[in-house]
Each structure stands twice: as structure tokens, then as C-alpha cells.
């Protein structure tokens, strides 16, 4: 695992940089998760295994540091990813974001389009308003979530049988989870939806089959966004059907360039 120093908060972002041909493929995880945990089965499938791949844990999550001076907004997460890609001299990457990571990926492309050649977004938050995970977290005060809310949230995750997710929730910092959730569902202009449709690069939005029907399948298609469905999967599609998710990502990739 590699480290990257973020000067603004004197903290280290940690990531895997798996060797392969380009363009680089960047994976960004959801709220309470970690790319180092949730994407390994996906990236080993088919031709994805031949690509240079970055699995990045956001600050506050996974193996990365947990600076309490950091704001943990979507925009700040996107900025740390931009700084890392600049440091690695990565441009025109294929960026895959799941859930919160999808919203961060959209914002990254909207802010620094030269860094992103292709967006693959899996059930990201597009509009303001509470989600199933973010809503209950953001409804609490930060102090309450730190004091007891995270433990209660973890118990709920375990009771639902999401034991893989429980592991990354345990590792996540309570402040990072709360501030990220609050930012994720906040009103902003332009919205993530508006940012997504304004970006002039190939875009794919992925749904889990179990979460259909969804009116956004039609709306996104009408606005130039390719729509794909992971068969037999819910929101946790990396666990439900990692090969199905990988095949959709692989289909969205441009051809690799070989020296």
C-alpha cells in the first residue's frame, strides 16, 4: 500500500497502485466503505486485471488517516483525489465511483475534467436529500453520532447481515462518516445530477437489478448517459455480483495503449 501526504490537513491518504497498461482506472468507494476492501474481486476480473488500477481509501476511511481538522465534504474529498492524481501524473483516467464515491467522482470530473476521460457511476447520490445510509447519520448531531450513533449504526448494519460492510464501518472514523453524510445530502448548485449531465465525456450509470424500477433509467438515457444494470444485485453490487459489475466496467473502458 502507498501513501500520499495531504498538506492542508497534514494527513496521509493511502491507496493501492496495481501495475498494468493505461489509461489508469481509479476506484472510489461509498460512505463507510473502503476501496481497499470492496473492489479487489472486481479488479481481478477479465481485462481489468491488465489495467493500471488505483484503489483509494478516502481520508477518514479504510487505511487512510483520520484528521479531525478536515471538513470531509464531497468537494474536499474530490480535491484530495485530484491532488493524488496530479502527484502520480495521472490524466484522463477512467474513474469508477460507488454511491458516495460516485458523487465524488462526478464532482472531480466537473472540477478537473483533464483528469477524467470516462466516468462509471454506480448508484450515486444525484440530488439533495437523505439516502438509506446517509440520512440516519446526517439526522444526528456530530456529537451524538460520535457518542453513540456510530455504534448504533454498526449494530444495524450487522443485524441486516451486511458483515463485509460492518468491517469497513468499524474502521471508519465517526467524524468522517458524519461530515461526509451531511455534505453528501446537502443542497448545492449545481447538483450532482446537473454536474453529471454537463460533463462532455463518456458516462455510464449503473443500477443493481434489485433496485429497479427507477425513473432515472429513462431520464439518464434521455440526457446522454449510458445506463447499465448488474444482474441479481442490490446496492452492494461489488459483493452481490462482482463479475457482473466488472463486465460492465470493462465494456466502458477505452482500449489499452501498449508500448
Q: How far apart are CA 148 and CA 164, in angstroms?
A: 21
Q: Which residues partner with 3 through β-bridges?
A: 14
Q: C-alpha cell of 157?
A: 448494519
Backbone angles phi, psi at 39, to 5 degrees: -110, -10
Q: Which residues partner with 236 through β-bridges?
A: none
The pLDDT, as a whole number, for residue 46 is: 84
Best CA proximity match to 207, nearest among 223, 229, 240, 239: 229
Q: Which residues partner with 230 through β-bridges?
A: 208
Backbone angles phi, psi at 184, to 5 degrees: -60, -40
The pLDDT, as a whole number, for residue 130 is: 83
Backbone angles phi, psi at 132, to 5 degrees: -60, -35
2-128+189-252 architecture in CATH?
A: 3-Layer(aba) Sandwich (3.40)
The pLDDT, as a whole number, for residue 106 is: 98
The pLDDT, as a whole number, for residue 258 is: 47
The pLDDT, as a whole number, for residue 257 is: 57
pLDDT (tens digit per residue) in 169-179: 999 999 999 99
The pLDDT, as a whole number, for residue 109 is: 98
H/E run at residue 25: strand 21-28
Could you say which residues of the chain have pLDDT below 50?
258-259
Amino acid at each position: 500500500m502507498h501513501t500520499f501526504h495531504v498538506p492542508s490537513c497534514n494527513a496521509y491518504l493511502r491507496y493501492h497502485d496495481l501495475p498494468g497498461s493505461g489509461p489508469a482506472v481509479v476506484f472510489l468507494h461509498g460512505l463507510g466503505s473502503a476501496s481497499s476492501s470492496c473492489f479487489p474481486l472486481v479488479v481481478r476480473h477479465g481485462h481489468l486485471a491488465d489495467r493500471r488500477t488505483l484503489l483509494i481509501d478516502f481520508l477518514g476511511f479504510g487505511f487512510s488517516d483520520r484528521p479531525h481538522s478536515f471538513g470531509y465534504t464531497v468537494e474536499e474529498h474530490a480535491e484530495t483525489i485530484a491532488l493524488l492524481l496530479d502527484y502520480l501524473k495521472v490524466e484522463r483516467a477512467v474513474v469508477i465511483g460507488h454511491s458516495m464515491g460516485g458523487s465524488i467522482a462526478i464532482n472531480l470530473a466537473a472540477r478537473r475534467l483533464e483528469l477524467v476521460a470516462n466516468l462509471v457511476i454506480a448508484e450515486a447520490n444525484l440530488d439533495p436529500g437523505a439516502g438509506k445510509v446517509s440520512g440516519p447519520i446526517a439526522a444526528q448531531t456530530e456529537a451524538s453520532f460520535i457518542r453513540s450513533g456510530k455504534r448504533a449504526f454498526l449494530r444495524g448494519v450487522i443485524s441486516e447481515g451486511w458483515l463485509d460492510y460492518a468491517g469497513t464501518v468499524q474502521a471508519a472514523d465517526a467524524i468522517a462518516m458524519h461530515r461526509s453524510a451531511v455534505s453528501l445530502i446537502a443542497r448545492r448548485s449545481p447538483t450532482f445530477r446537473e454536474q453529471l449531465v454537463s460533463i462532455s465525456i463518456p458516462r455510464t450509470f449503473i443500477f443493481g437489478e434489485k433496485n429497479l424500477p427507477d425513473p432515472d433509467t429513462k431520464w439518464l438515457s434521455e440526457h446522454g448517459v449510458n445506463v447499465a444494470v448488474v444482474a441479481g444485485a442490490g446496492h452492494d453490487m461489488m459483493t452481490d455480483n462482482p463479475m457482473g459489475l466488472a463486465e460492465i466496467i470493462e465494456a466502458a473502458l477505452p482500449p489499452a495503449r501498449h508500448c
